[in-house]
Chains A and B, each alone.
Chain A
Amino acid sequence: MSKYYQPEVETMSVEDIKALQSEKLVKQVKHVYENVKYYRDLMDEKGVTPDDIKSIDDLYKLPFLTKADLRDAYPYGLLGTDLKNCVRIQSTSGTTGRRVVAFYTQKDVDLWEECCARAIVAAGGTNGDVCQVAYGYGLFTGGPGLNGGSHKVGCLTLPMSSGNTERQIQFMQDLHSTIICCTPSYAAYIGETLKEMGLTPDDIDLKAGIFGAEPWTEEMRRDIEKSLGIKAYDIYGLTETSGPGVSFECEEQTGMHINEDHFLAEIIDPETGEVLPEGSKGELVFTSLDKEAFPLLRYRTRDICVLSRKKCSCGRTFIKMSKPMGRSDDMMIIRGVNVFPSQIETVLIKEGYSSNYLIEVDREHNTDTLDIYVELTPEQFSDTVKGISAREKSLAGAIKIMLGINPKVHLVAPKTITRSEGKAVRVVDKRKLHD
């Protein structure tokens, strides 16, 4: 089997990619203008017609779509085809407001699954592999997406869903799973459980993991790789744009190749909306190129990252996006400083703490307070209050160097911070309660 799932597109020349994108964009804009009244109104308001879009160079003329638009248009307002052509919905958890429901035709599902298949092959997957899908199934896109991709590659697929970790490990051993797909925090938890069960990476056959759906750091990657004895690959996607597989990592592990035959990516200044040149850090914006049921033009993801077209050693020519450095809605402004939870996590792991933590932001006498709860490991517990207080102070100092503001660190007993089997809740912002 090839090292690419679809070599003819994954390695096409940059000129050919751009030509293909231009051709598809013209069609997609027409499709949206004709079928999606919500977006047609936005275009009319801006005085843009489909005829103004002749190539990807005209993309900037189109209006943006935001998460707020998706909420306004809920549930059918952005539907691009008759409901009778749709075969599936997926949905966000709705934890940060009204949920988003995305629709799929059979073709949309196929293309999405192909994107996931490319990610699995890039992680070394072939039809000889046993792929354990431990993402949640159901409305969440993680399980269904990787499940479909795994089928397309021809792996023996274990549709485990998340949870019941000891059973996950048992299947892993009995059926010799070679690839695991789940959220990175769940992968870390599986690694921890493996150790608790008295097992080592040598007792399982995993070689690769495909992890996404939440932010994770390089340090966390190394931890997971060590605890499970695998190479860990990042995968990216949003329910709005189909699900995981919008972009995926190759063996170089230096960013995720965007499936550019289906998605056109831009980086903009989140404040002004201005398009920034390649290599700039800014908000990632996606335009779907061949979606039927839920086409989105210039959708603002709120993920902050960098795009790079630097030649990749894997041979793929698709542009790469960095791991999101934070989400504009995850970004907290504490005492006037921009803080991303991932920065705090980086320090915790570097200082030898568990990556299970909780950040609590509050306001006291008009000053923001930052409290960080971190679990102690058995090796770190000393008999004296002095010893623990010294640890708290030293960790607070390290975090202060990273953020520029002073947190209060609270070391807590192991397993007292709620574990996640899906997306981790790491930040509680109590300031909102006062506003």
Chain B
Amino acid sequence: MAVKQISVFIQNKKGRLAKVSRLLADNNIYIRALSIADTQDFGILRLICEDVENVNSVLKEAGYLTTITDVLVAAVKDDAGALAIIAEALRDADVSIEYVYELATVDNIVYLVVRVDDNKVAAAALAGAGIKTVGEDVIFKL
């Protein structure tokens, strides 16, 4: 069960993040979760929001480079070992993790966005380890 994530290429310069955030706000786009990966030169802003296609066209129209990827959202009990059990389950299935970030923590359950190279294999591995993955129907109601 994959969730659509939108990634935006941003130049690593002062004010660039403010500019894209303002654009999203002005278009009434609510960001459910975000993470930023950055290097000296550039950053990749990753967003989880509803109606990805609309968000994509807003960004594209403003001249941003974007790409939509399918990511998994794993729901585990919120304690010290949460990330470890996910990482171990994926390692054992030979799935490499590109990145992980937190989407939300609700009722003692932490929801983590996991980007892997193979969603199918990863979802099966997580299920095998007793870890639930949830879809958009769940995350936008949190």
Contacts and interface: CB of A to CB of B under 8 A. Distances in A.
Is B truly associated with A?
yes
A376 B67 CA distance: 13
Interface in B55-71: 63-67, 69
B39 interface: yes
B119 interface: no
A376 B64 CA distance: 11
Interface stretch (B40-48, B80-88, B128-136): B40-48
A12 interface: no
A118 interface: no
- Looking at chain B's contact residues, is the secondary structure mostly helix, strand, loop, or mixed? strand
B65 A413 contact: yes
Interface residues of A, number: 17
Given A413-B64, A413-B65, A416-B11, A384 B42 contact: no
Contacts of A68: none
B11 A412 contact: yes
A281 B108 CA distance: 75
Interface in B5-54: 5, 7, 9-11, 37-39, 41-42, 44, 46
A386 B115 CA distance: 13
A383 B39 contact: no
Given A378-B65, A413-B10, A414-B65, A383 B44 contact: yes
Nearest to B71: A383
A381 B98 contact: no
B63 A383 contact: no
A189 to B, nearest CB: 15
A385 interface: yes
A388 B67 contact: no
B65 A382 contact: no
Interface in A389-419: 389, 410-416
A415 B69 CA distance: 24
B39 A385 contact: yes
A412 B63 CA distance: 13
Given A411-B42, A413-B11, A383 B67 contact: yes
Contacts of A386: 98
Interface of B: 5, 7, 9-11, 37-39, 41-42, 44, 46, 63-67, 69, 98-99, 115
Interface of A: 376, 378, 381-386, 388-389, 410-416
- State the 4 A-B residue pairs at the shortest beta-carbon distance, nearest first: A383-B7, A381-B65, A383-B69, A410-B41
22 contacts: A381-B7, A381-B9, A381-B67, A382-B67, A383-B5, A383-B46, A383-B67, A383-B98, A384-B44, A384-B98, A384-B99, A385-B38, A385-B39, A385-B44, A388-B9, A388-B42, A410-B41, A410-B42, A412-B42, A413-B10, A413-B65, A416-B11
